[in-house]
Amino acid sequence: MKLMKIVALAAFAAFAGALPAKAFCLFNCEPKPEDARKVFENLIKKRFDPDATIEKFGVTRYWPLDVEGAGHKGYEFYFTASVRFPKGANLECKPDSAGQVKQGCSASAYYSTTVQNQMIKEKQYIEPGKVVEFKDETRFDQSGGKWKGQDGNLY
Model pLDDT for residues 30-39, shown as the tens digit of each residue = 999 999 999 9
- Provide the pLDDT confidence category of residue 22 given band limits of 50, 70 and 90: very low
Q: How far is CA 33 from CA 45, 58, 100, 136, 140, in A?
A: 18, 8, 39, 13, 11
Q: For residue 109, tell me if it sits in a domain.
A: yes
Q: How far, in Å, CA of 140 to CA of 106, rounded?
A: 28
Convert the pLDDT of each residue in 82-126 to its tens digit: 999 999 999 999 999 998 999 999 999 899 887 766 778 899 999
Domains of the chain: total: 1
For residue 148, is pLDDT > 60?
yes
Q: Which domain holds residue 106?
A: 30-148
**68 within domain boundaries:** yes
Q: 75 pLDDT exceeds 90?
A: yes
**Does residue 154 fall inside a structural domain?**
no
The mean per-residue pLDDT over the stretch 124-132 comes to 97
Question: Average pLDDT of 1-26?
Answer: 54
61 part of a folded domain:
yes
Q: Determine, yes or no, domain membership for 3.
A: no
Q: Is residue 118 part of a domain?
A: yes
| 143: CB partners within 8 A, 6+ apart | 72, 154
Question: Is residue 85 included in any domain, yes or no?
Answer: yes
Cα gap 155→149, rounded to integer Å: 7
Q: Would you say residue 45 lies in a domain?
A: yes
Q: Is the pTM of this model over 0.85?
A: no
